[in-house]
Each structure stands twice: as structure tokens, then as C-alpha cells.
């Protein structure tokens, strides 16, 4: 029988490359010693030069649309399933209101943050990897996506319960999800596959450490925090830019399940999180979250010993400021029309909020919106759950299920006959660029330090649960090279952490320590 940790696993992925690759920090080009490498190509047969790093405008600039390999990879990935979401398929939604409480106009002109402003919201909670009817007891990051129906258009704050992610570049996202999904030949999830992948991604050590604590199995959606994961930009009325991260703090407190509790629940209930949220709202016990922000000036980004826009990192020591409170007070009348047809995308932004140069976010700006176009059609934003509360005026037209009411013979701009005008007030801010276009990994990686900091912040019982949960899956890995590489990552993060997992999976601690000594942050 599978261990409780395996029974609760929602993420499965491993990169196998044999014992040889465990000796030093893996490089993107590493191949299993027993296999000859075959040239990777795009769908048109053209060879791929770099399948690990997106093209960027210099070391700190945004990702380039000309990266045709990245675009094709994401387009093909977005269309693998229809109509179910490829990720975040299992979801639960609720309506509510966000009330802004603090004047932060020095940072942003976004109308949603006007003190006292009440903005309708729709929230979709979800699990990430498993299918639409999967048990909610499974170990998985949890999606926390909020659609704000603001007076200036819809803003989607699309994040997770955990503050970091597995990878830092969208180029790797389809591969990561493939490794976590069931194997294509057996339809079975397998730790040998996902650890095979993650053994090549040392930056995943932080997220894996958080996920394998009891945070990976929340007790309820009400008792769960949310995070933007990515940094965004705040833009004020003077067009001055700050960088910001968002954090939803549950006023119900955080509550998670340990492996024994999971085993007890999943024997009798696989909808416990959905049932809890619906029941609480129905009974008038409306859940609430305070929204906090961390804000940095552009010049402060370089003060860290890691890339501050790396999605595998938190911003330690940066104070949080409360900016408002969200209350969920109404269940959907129809789950399909509201929860399942809701189309969340980080590209749905409003004046005063812009994307940062985070490489993962840059890929998601395209991928999420493109997924929704594929899933619910070109006119999905005309559906009631997605429709902005303000007037929409443009010349996007036709397509399946178009319910618009555009009239007249002018469907272009500029025009003297039926003018629709753009407004320079709402142009994107300018970003000064240096260097050349490139495909290269982030320079300041710091792959292990924050994972170690998090491990040391846990109490003894939480550390014990983490080691037990992680060992339950890592112990199933058959390839010693993969297993020892992963163990060396955890050891590099914290020696006690690495030794505890090594003991749990009956590995040689001296070999693990030797491998860890060769790793670089």
C-alpha cells in the first residue's frame, strides 16, 4: 500500500539523470549517461537552442514576444485539454466584496484602493494538479484567484496559498506540469517522474519544503492564506513605479491537516473543502481575509542577494501593510455558469497595476489568457461572471457565442465618423533597458537558503511531519542518482533537514553531505 504521504500527494514529478548528475549542481544540458541526446525541435522541425530560459531584454528586462519557441510551447500546452482546465481543474467559487481601508495613492492610482471603496469580487479556490472530481485531501498547492469588478475594469489577482513557486521561468512550466501529471503510458502519477524533473531544478527546494509540510493539505479554504507569488508594479498618478507583492491573511486563522487526519477524512469525504465553504456562507458565517502588500522602490530590488523578481523567493524583512478586507457572502447559483466559466488571468490588469519583469509572470500573462480563449472561446469575457461592470468599447468582433451589440459600419480606429479614442494617461510606464537580448538563467539564484530558513522556522512537530511526508514519496524513487541529488538539495538548505530525510529513506548521510558540499547557491 502507498504511504499516507503518497496517498495525499497531488504533485508528482522527478527528473532522472542517473548517479552522475548528482555530483554537482545540475546544468540544463545534463542528460542520462545511458542515453544519447536527440536534438529537440519546434513543431516545424527547427532545432531548439535553449529549452530552459526565455529570451529577455537584457538580464532584468521583460520576456520577448519574438521567443517563438516559448510561445509555441505555451500555446500547445494550453490546448492539451478541452474543456477541463489543464491545471486548477478542481475549483470552488464564492461571491463577496472587498472594502479598501488605507490610502496608498502614493504608490498606486488604482481606484480599487480608494479608502472606503466597496468592490464586488468573485473568488475561485482550487487545487492545481488533479482533475475536476479529485479528492480535496490530496497534497497540492491551492489556487486563490480573485476577480475584482472595479470601476476601471476587471482586475484578476491570481495566486496560490503558498508564497513561492517551483520554477522561475515559464519555459519550464509545461514540462513541470507534465511530470506532475499521470504518466502518458500508464495514467499513474509517479514520484520517480516528478523528482526526476525537480532534481534538475535546485530552485524548487524552497517550494517543495513548504508543500510537504501540512500547508500542502489545508483543512479548509476559509482557513488558508493567499499570495500573489509574483511581484507586480504599482503606478501612482505621477507615473512613479513601485514593486509590490500581495498577501491575503485569513481572519479565520490557518489550519492544516496532518497525514493521519488526511487518511481519516479521505476514507469518508472527498469534498471537505468545498462543503465547508458552501456551508459556512449558507449559515451566515462569512469568511474574511485582510489584504496586505509589500512595497519596494525599483532601486531596492538590487539590495537582495537573490533576484527579487524570482518567483521561488519571498521578500524577507520587507514590512506588510494592510490595505483592505474581503468578505465572501454569497454562494454561486449555478456552479457551471459561475465557478467553471470564470476566466481568471493575470493579464487582466487595471490602471495603477502593471506586470513586473518576473519571468514566470511574463509567461503567465500570455498563457492564462490564451487558455481561457481556448477553453471558453473568444467572447468568454462577455459571459456574466466575467463581464466588467463598466462599459466595454472596442472593435474586437465576431467569433463564436458573441453576444455583443455593436452597430454601424465602422469597426476600425482611428475614425472621424464613430470615434473611439485611446488616452495617453493610461499608457504603460517606460522601463529603461540595458544590454542585449539573451537566453540565460538568472544570475543571483540563491536556490537553497530560503528553504533552510523556512525549515528552521518550523516547530519540531512540523519538521517531523515535513520529513515524514517528503520521505514517503522520495523513498519510492528507484534511481539513486535522482534520490541523492534531491537529498543533497535538502541538506544544502539545512544540514539537519537533509540528515533527517536521508535517515528516513535509509540513504548514506555521508554521501549526501559530500554531494551537498559541491553545490553552489
Write out the binding residues for heme. Answer: 368
Residues 6+ apart with CB under 8 A from 463: 455, 497, 500
Half-sphere exposure at residue 208, Cβ-oriented, CA atoms within 13 angstroms: 32
157, 228 Cβ separation under 8 angstroms: yes
- Length of the chain equals 521
For the beta carbon of residue 432, count every other beta carbon within 10 angstroms.
8
List the one residue out of 241, 286, 275, 281 whose CA is nearest residue 431. Answer: 241
Beta strands in 91-169 (DSSP E): 91-100, 118-127, 142-150, 153-160
Cβ neighbours around 325 below 10 Å, total = 17
Q: Catalytic pick from 88, 95, 206, 247? A: 88
Cis, peptide link before residue 459, omega less than 30° from 0: no
Radius of gyration of the chain (CA): 23
Annotated binding site: 368
Instruction: Indicate if 465 belongs to the active site.
Output: no
Contact 6, 139 (CB under 8 A): no
Helix (H) / strand (E) element for 491: namely helix 480-493
First-last CA distance in the chain: 37
| Active site annotation includes 160 | yes
Distance CA 504, CA 195 (A): 17
Strand 118-127 and strand 142-150: the pairing is: antiparallel
Q: Look up cell 517606460; give the residue.
A: 430
Q: What is 275-337 written as a DSSP string?
A: HHHHHHHHTT---EEEEEEEEE-GGGGGGSSS-TT-TT---TT---EEEEEEEEEE--S-TII
Q: Which helix (H) or strand (E) holds 473?
A: helix 460-474
398 φ/ψ sector (left φ>0, alpha ψ -120 to 50, else beta): left
For residues 481 and 196, is the Cβ–Cβ distance under 8 A? no
* Cα within 13 Å of Cα(90), Cβ side: 22
Pairing of the two strands 91-100 and 142-150: unpaired
Distance CA 275, CA 272 (A): 5
Of 160, 192, 447, 465, which is the active-site residue?
Answer: 160
**Does an H or E element contain 502, and which?**
helix 495-504
Catalytic residue IDs: 88, 160
Amino acid at each position: 500500500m502507498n504511504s499516507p504521504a503518497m496517498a495525499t500527494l497531488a504533485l508528482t514529478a522527478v527528473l532522472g539523470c542517473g548517479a552522475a548528475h548528482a555530483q554537482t549542481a545540475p546544468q540544463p544540458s545534463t542528460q542520462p549517461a545511458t542515453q544519447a541526446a536527440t536534438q529537440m525541435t519546434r513543431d516545424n522541425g527547427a532545432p531548439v537552442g535553449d529549452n530552459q530560459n526565455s529570451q529577455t531584454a537584457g538580464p532584468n528586462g521583460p520576456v520577448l514576444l519574438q521567443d517563438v519557441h516559448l510561445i509555441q510551447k505555451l500555446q500547445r500546452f494550453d490546448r492539451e485539454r478541452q474543456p477541463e482546465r489543464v491545471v486548477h481543474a478542481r475549483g470552488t467559487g464564492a461571491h463577496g466584496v472587498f472594502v479598501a481601508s488605507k490610502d496608498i495613492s502614493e504608490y498606486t492610482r488604482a481606484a480599487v484602493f480608494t479608502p472606503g471603496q466597496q468592490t464586488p469580487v468573485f473568488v475561485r479556490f482550487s487545487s492545481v494538479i488533479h482533475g475536476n472530481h479529485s479528492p480535496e485531501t490530496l497534497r497540492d498547492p491551492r489556487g486563490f484567484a480573485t476577480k475584482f469588478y472595479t470601476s476601471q475594469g476587471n482586475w484578476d489577482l491570481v495566486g496560490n496559498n503558498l508564497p513561492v513557486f517551483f520554477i522561475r521561468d515559464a519555459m519550464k512550466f509545461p514540462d513541470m506540469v507534465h511530470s506532475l501529471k499521470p504518466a502518458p503510458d500508464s495514467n499513474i502519477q509517479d514520484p520517480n517522474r516528478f523528482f526526476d524533473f525537480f532534481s534538475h531544478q535546485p530552485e524548487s527546494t524552497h517550494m517543495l519544503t513548504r508543500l510537504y509540510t501540512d500547508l500542502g493539505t489545508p483543512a479548509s479554504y476559509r482557513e488558508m492564506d493567499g499570495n500573489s507569488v509574483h511581484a507586480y508594479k504599482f503606478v501612482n498618478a505621477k507615473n512613479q513605479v513601485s514593486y509590490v507583492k500581495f498577501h491575503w491573511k485569513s481572519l479565520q486563522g490557518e489550519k492544516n491537516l496532518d497525514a493521519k487526519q488526511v487518511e481519516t477524512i479521505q476514507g469518508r469525504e472527498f469534498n471537505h473543502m468545498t462543503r465547508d465553504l458552501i456551508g459556512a456562507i449558507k449559515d451566515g458565517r462569512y469568511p474574511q481575509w485582510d489584504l496586505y502588500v509589500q512595497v519596494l522602490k525599483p532601486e531596492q530590488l538590487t539590495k537582495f542577494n537573490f533576484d527579487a523578481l524570482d518567483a521561488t523567493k519571498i521578500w524577507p524583512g520587507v514590512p506588510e501593510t494592510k490595505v483592505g478586507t474581503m468578505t465572501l457572502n454569497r454562494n454561486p447559483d449555478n456552479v457551471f455558469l459561475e465557478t467553471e466559466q470564470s476566466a481568471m488571468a493575470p493579464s487582466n490588469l487595471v490602471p495603477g497595476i502593471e506586470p513586473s519583469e518576473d519571468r514566470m509572470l511574463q509567461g503567465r500573462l500570455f498563457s492564462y489568457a490564451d487558455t481561457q480563449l481556448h477553453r471558453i472561446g473568444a467572447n468568454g469575457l462577455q459571459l456574466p461572471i466575467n463581464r466588467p461592470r463598466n462599459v466595454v468599447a472596442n472593435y474586437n468582433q465576431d467569433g463564436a457565442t458573441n453576444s455583443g451589440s455593436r452597430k454601424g459600419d465602422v469597426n476600425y480606429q482611428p475614425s472621424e465618423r464613430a470615434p473611439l479614442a485611446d488616452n495617453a494617461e493610461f499608457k504603460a510606464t517606460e522601463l529603461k533597458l540595458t544590454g542585449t537580448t539573451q537566453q540565460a538563467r538568472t544570475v543571483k539564484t540563491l536556490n537553497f537558503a530560503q528553504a533552510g530558513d523556512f525549515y528552521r522556522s518550523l516547530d519540531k512537530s512540523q519538521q517531523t511531519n515535513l520529513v515524514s511526508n517528503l520521505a514517503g514519496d522520495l523513498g519510492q524513487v528507484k534511481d539513486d542518482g535522482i534520490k541523492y541529488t534531491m537529498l543533497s538539495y535538502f541538506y544544502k538548505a539545512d544540514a539537519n533537514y537533509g540528515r533527517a530525510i536521508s535517515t528516513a529513506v535509509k540513504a548514506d548521510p555521508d554521501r549526501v553531505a559530500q554531494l551537498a558540499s559541491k553545490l553552489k547557491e
